[in-house]
Amino acid sequence: MEQIEVTMDYVAWAEWYDIFYAAADPGDIEFYHGLCRASGGPILEIGVGTGRIALPLAREGMEIVGIDLFESMLKVAQQNAMEAAPLQGSLRLIQADMRNFDLRRKFPVVIIPARTLLLATSEEEQLQTLCRAAQHLAPDGTMAFNLFYPDPAMLADDPDEEFLLEIVEKPDGGRYVLTAKNHFDLDSQINNGVQIAEELDPSGNVLRRQELAVVVRYLYPEQILSMCDRVGLEVIEMWGDFEAAELDEDSDEIVVLARHMDAAR
């Protein structure tokens, strides 16, 4: 596989990802599941990670193909697939780069959940990712993805100020304290952030601490429209949350539904 510059440590992320997501409830699961169920599948998930979105669908009987660049994340997805109920459908995990993959098939639904498009950290790489996603979308298919809304207050975050994300209680009485720091560069639109996980025992002693770099390139709504246009996609909805709220400057999320420009109406 071609050598790529890695600035995020996905071996460490694979260990901590499900803990961060167990705490946060971004409300995205119902949204993506509803879209996927309505289509009947098969579904392509780009950046499938630990299978958070894909696995429940595969358990229900749907056919899902998930690509991810990082073996460590795919291994956790495989382990998660073996736990709990057996799959009535299928989850095919493929190690591939969202910027240049070619599965030689098309899907009625292509999803890029959890702000994964922003992990492509230049305009060119984001366009490449959207282009590959569009190439795998059936002629009348639907693509869905979400990004965070670049709220001016957040962009002004002090890079030295650690803020609390969540506290997750552990069954043994201990807990995880999850915090973060943002460091936005307004010219490149890059956040060189860090998420910090501390595991505490029931007495509050720190058992371990892990700092996880997060590097993302944020996008404004008008940039998303323009990028979709450049890869032949028409944005059919752009909401401010997963329940179809209007997008405005108070939104946390940008939720996008798109289809091919020449899709049959």
Ligand X SMILES: C[S@@+](CC[C@H](N)C(=O)[O-])C[C@H]1O[C@@H](n2cnc3c(N)ncnc32)[C@H](O)[C@@H]1O
Q: Tell whether residue 177 is a contact of ligand X (CB under 6 A).
A: no
Q: How far is CA 148 from CA 40, 69, 116, 196, 252, in A?
A: 28, 22, 10, 19, 6
Select 62 or 69, whichever has its Cβ closest to ligand X. 69
Q: 215 with 189: CB under 8 angstroms?
A: no
Q: Is the peptide bond before 108 cis (omega within 30 degrees of 0)?
A: no
Q: Which stretch binds ligand X (CB under 6 A): 56-64, 67-75, 102-110, 155-163?
A: 67-75
Q: How far is CA 20 from CA 8, 88, 132, in A?
A: 16, 27, 28
Instruction: Report, in Å, the least distance between residue 84 CB and ligand X.
Output: 17
Q: Tell whether residue 231 is a contact of ligand X (CB under 6 A).
A: no
Q: How far is CA 8 from CA 44, 114, 158, in A?
A: 24, 16, 21
Q: Which of 43, 44, 53, 180 binds ligand X (CB under 6 A)?
A: 53
Instruction: Give the separation between CA 160 and CA 182, rounded to whole angstroms.
Output: 8
Q: In the stretch 101-140, what mask flags binding to ligand X with x, by CB under 6 A?
A: ------------xx-x--x---------------------
Q: Tell whether residue 36 is a contact of ligand X (CB under 6 A).
A: no
User: Residue 151 gets which letter from DSSP?
Assistant: -
Short-list 55, 66, 111, 65, CA closest to 88: 55
Q: Tell whether residue 49 is a contact of ligand X (CB under 6 A).
A: yes
Instruction: Report, in Å, the least distance between residue 25 CB and ligand X.
Output: 12
Q: Tell whether residue 253 is a contact of ligand X (CB under 6 A).
A: no
Interface residue list for ligand X (CB under 6 A) = 10, 45, 47-49, 52-53, 67-70, 73, 97-99, 113-114, 116, 119
